Structure 1
């Protein structure tokens, strides 16, 4: 289930435990699938229950117009602490994200609009005074008080309430999709920061190699076996590499700010990253099975619910073309009769009225119905377009996973060991005078490029895996990249 992938890991300390608990509550409600019911009131109650479950652990709504400087939210409390693995960042983001809170509030607003659609028209209270009283046998009519109630055609209110419930379901699916997108965005930001830090580690090791080469070149210069140009060329390479490392520090600050922004953490929060390479894995499920799982993605469910809204609005527009009814009661205050001994003198009159609302503008009402039909058709077209994009993205993500796993394994197992051996052989040959100085620079550059490429390939593999789970909408079980992938659908596996 997606909840498992979204809630793995935790922040350390008591604050991390609280965040994990709140995130569990939040994500348990994020992906709850409500049961459709025929009764609008029952559907609304079900929606309210799902809404409350999803909103328990979300961040509080900030005060608009606050004069507190940005980042002071964490000044009065302990800063979050992360253990360096990516999942605690995801857990914290799902709890603290104001963007996710905003999506939940839109869902809440849509849920509360359901009651408005089911509301009966307000009754009308009328009062009239007879400027010229109407004389009757029992006395003059002086005042009239009436109450009238309009009743729409049976089914019109229920259709509107059902459409509003479906519209709230659209916002729910948007909320669920926002949670998936947030998780992927946090993981991408994490692995980008990890890449920059690992590149710095590799380049610092290469900087130490430059120092060793410079010492060797200076020693050979003293005995006349090397030229000053060789030493200067190495010093130039060292200076350029040191400049790259300084540039990496600034890039890391920018990447750290991006990660903290994605998780909604205070700016001064430490952002440790793991020192281990991401594991190279392949999806255990076949591509066909993953493609079948796309139909349950919230992004597709959103358009399914939107099409349902259009269908129900068509039904509502059809009911609106039928006549409405109204019932009224009028009380007429009658004064005393002008003549004496009149039976029922001053007796008030009461009347009951029934009205029929005539929908004369049928052609205009038909336009509302056609507009709703067009909205439903547009939603179905969007569903198909989203499905096509997701299918293409799934294929691209799987291709990226396979390619990065293959190339990263090739770099680790073959290319980097070969480059290291070549550099060692070149250094040995240079010490004996059998190898030219240019060969050392070439071997050193090859090793550096291969090590940097290996780091980037591992990060690209981890990012592609995060994209895959965001595309599928749930966690994806993996297996070692060296193991063959089972081509059978998931349902056919033992």
Structure 2
């Protein structure tokens, strides 16, 4: 596929650094570059979904949401019902007989609307826990993406190194042929071999880094067994960069809005709890029948309905809570403004870094084209028997550096794009 970037045509093939070579009079090394398309990496989405399902931090926050929801049921209750039992040791005498024992029951009832206000406040706290869960989910997706793209970078670099090792083997064969005809020295063959060994060492170190990242990746997914992590071999930088979401809808900002709502509900509850409370009750007194005379209602038990009121005359507590709520609202407004400034700065910085990665990628593509032209000139010199293997090593090192920079640019672009997706939310 032919793509045009900055008026330069490139034949682009992603993650396939194939070598086509001829060892005779001409050897051509064909460098593969990167392919662009707009498809999202399905493997990454699968890993993100698995992490969201099994990650212990997410599971803990889901439990927090469940606890907050259960607290709604907790608020739908009245104060404890009071029961009393009294036995008269010294029985008081009344006209209708002696009082033996006393039973009582009391039920206090909060002011009208207090219970519903408690439910509203508990519901607002559920909203806070849900937004905390959403923030954690987005952060986990971002962390999974970052590790995933790091794995992509290391595996691509490992493949680039292998292709360059193979290329050096081709050059070493050329050098051996030149030694046989007296057009090169054995030192040049040894230098090519030492360069191969250096690249092999780098490959081994990359493999160690890959193993460490795979362990970190498995831990994010909370996998007890070793996962066979499949990293997409084709990553695509879209031709156009855009912001699909809205920063103002970010959960980190929404969390302050939810906190403000919960404080307003708390203040409503505080005002209702500062209102009078009333109670209803019933007293029952058992009366012993008199035997010394017959009178009306002799031994008749006493039943006395009761109504009571609880008035918070000394209400400094409620005034203090109201003042605290006002201060909390001011604090939340300030923290929200600070967080918004921080998110805006992070977003702008990330957008610039993403654009810089694209510029770097395009520059490296152009540089790789120039390096390929230089290599072609060296190969033509080999046909005439005048090849300088010092120049061969120099151009190979330049090409390797460019290829590594290309991989890093792709990884950087996708990592920064993942941060942009974290910072912005679709309407």
Same fold (TM over 0.5): yes
| Equivalent of 1:365 in 314, 318, 321 | 318
Residue of structure 1 aligned with 2:390, choices 438, 446, 454: 438
| Shift in Å, 1:140 | 0.9
Counterpart position of 1:416: 368
| Whole-angstrom CA distance in 2 between matches of 1:458 and 1:150 | 68
Q: Is the 8 A contact 1:153 1:324 kept in 2?
A: yes
Q: Which residue of the partner structure matches residue 38 of structure 2?
A: none
Greater mean alpha carbon deviation, residues 359-368 or residues 170-179: 359-368
Partner of 2:270: 317
Give the deviation of 1:108 after TM superposition.
1.0
- What's the secondary structure of 2:161's corresponding residue? helix
Give 5+ residue unaligned stretches, structure 1.
1-82, 476-494
Q: How does 1:29-428 map to 2 (within 5 A)?
A: 85-285=43-243, 290=245, 293-412=246-365, 414-428=366-380
TM-score, structure 1 as length reference: 0.73
How far off its partner does 1:133 sit?
Answer: 1.1
Q: Distance in 1 between matches of 2:93 and 2:128?
A: 62
For residues 342 and 246 of structure 1, what CA distance do their matches in structure 2 show? 111
Q: Give 1:340 deviation, angstroms.
A: 1.4
For 1:371 and 1:132, locate their aligned partners in 2 and report how far apart those are by CA, in whole Å. 53
Deviation, structure 1 residue 243: 0.7
SS in 2 for 1:85: helix
CA distance in 2, matches of 1:180, 1:408: 28
Quick one: distance in 2 between partners of 1:435 and 1:222? 14
TM-score if structure 2 supplies the norm length?
0.84
> Conserved in 2, the CA contact under 8 Å of 1:180 and 1:473?
no
| 473 and 181 in structure 1: CA distance in 2 versus 1, 3 angstrom threshold | farther
Per-residue CA deviation, residues 28-57 of structure 1 (Å, 9 max, x unaligned), is xxxxxxxxxxxxxxxxxxxxxxxxxxxxxx
Structure 2 stretches lacking a partner, 5+ long: 1-40
Aligned residues: 387
SS in 1 for 2:285: strand
Q: Larger relative contact order (C-alpha < 8 A, sep ≥ 6)?
A: 2
For 1:217 and 1:320, locate their aligned partners in 2 and report how far apart those are by CA, in whole Å.
Answer: 92
**Partners in 2 of 1:422 and 1:257 — Cα distance?**
42
Note the C-alpha offset of 1:279.
Answer: 2.9
- SS of match in other structure, 2:240: strand
Change (3 A) 1:397 1:383: same
Q: 1:427 Cα shift?
A: 4.2
